[in-house]
Amino acid sequence: MTGLVIRALGEHDAHLFHALPDPGLVGRARFGHTYATLAQGGEYRPEWTWVALRGERVVARAAWWGGPDDTAPKALDWFDFADGEADAGARLLRAAPLHAEYNLLAPPGWRADPELRAAVRSRADAAVAGGLTPLVERYRYEWTPADGLPPRPGRLVFRPEPDDTTVAAVLRRVLVGTLDAHDRRVMATGGPDAAVEENMELLHWLPSPREWWRLAHTPAGELVGIHVPARNPSAPCVAYVGVVPEQRGHGYAFDLLAECTHDLFGYGAERIVAATDRGNTPMAAHFARAGYPVAQERLDFV
């Protein structure tokens, strides 16, 4: 078998990314996403796009993504390889000097389809062989006005909170007993302060107004939690919903989600994306009640 050459692309040969046939079963191609460099009007940088070649044939590819001002990638968006070339894919991941979370996208109910199940499994196995670690499976939701605005229970009072120190203190309380795998992973190594810092950095990174953030209280003034309607680089999103421990058990996360949806709709959103861990059954139930359909399932690797 011809030896493997692994390298980054340049603007002059970025077209090689498309030389690998993709059946579009899973991954970003399944959901209509396309690859184009910044110079081509897209989102990707050639130096963050790597391919594995046997002779002139592309047998594996990977493309990392970051925002316009990011100096390191935020996510591994694309990871694909030809039939029989899983090892080449794994070797590519090990050779590239880039690291970010990999989100493997699949259609809802993919486990019931043998072809989809095999496609997911092969990429997951290659990602692990390439040095990544499975973290969590997630549901990704996509709401449109056709799904209907969820009812507002009217039990809470929502107010902006301009002080980051106050917001950080609320996040620290919300993290107690969290079911979120990403937060639990950060806290396992860096403690609650590290998780608070990571969440605050992400919320500030989002290209939407800071004044949209809201704290929720009971009419008597007791803190209940926080919700953050926002925009990510591609769509309006439910960036954060969290309830402090002493207020759990009353279904308040639904109130927060409903308010967040109404806020985003009021800001002109015609599509709202959101996500939660597959194992976070209480939050998944709130999304279902609020009319958010599952648009994708996602396997996250770090």
Q: Which residues of 81-98 are buried (b: 16+ CB within 10 A; e: fewer)?
A: bbeebbbbbbbbbeebeb
Which of 63, 54, 56 is CA-nearest to residue 22? 63
Q: What is the pLDDT of residue 180?
A: 98
pLDDT (tens place) for every residue of the chain, 302 residues total: 579 999 999 999 999 999 999 999 999 999 999 999 999 999 999 999 999 999 999 999 999 999 999 999 999 999 999 999 999 999 999 999 999 999 999 999 999 999 999 999 999 999 999 999 999 999 999 999 999 999 999 999 999 999 999 999 999 999 999 999 999 999 999 999 999 999 999 999 999 999 999 999 999 999 999 999 999 999 999 999 999 999 999 999 999 999 999 999 999 999 999 999 999 999 999 999 999 999 999 999 99
Q: What is the pLDDT of residue 174?
A: 98
Contact 242, 220 (CB under 8 A): no
Task: Give 174's strand partners.
Answer: none
CA dist 89 and 85 (Å) reads: 6
Residue 69 CB burial class (10 angstroms; 0-12, 13-18, ≥19)? exposed
Q: What is the pLDDT of residue 1?
A: 59
Phi and psi of 55, rounded to 5°? 65, -120
Q: What is the pLDDT of residue 278?
A: 97
Starting at the earlier edge strand, list the strands of the sheet with 223-231: 4-8, 44-54, 57-65, 75-81, 101-106, 294-301, 134-143, 272-277, 236-243, 223-231, 214-217, 157-160
Other beta carbons less than 10 A from residue 14's beta carbon: 21
* Assigned token pair, 141: 């939701």
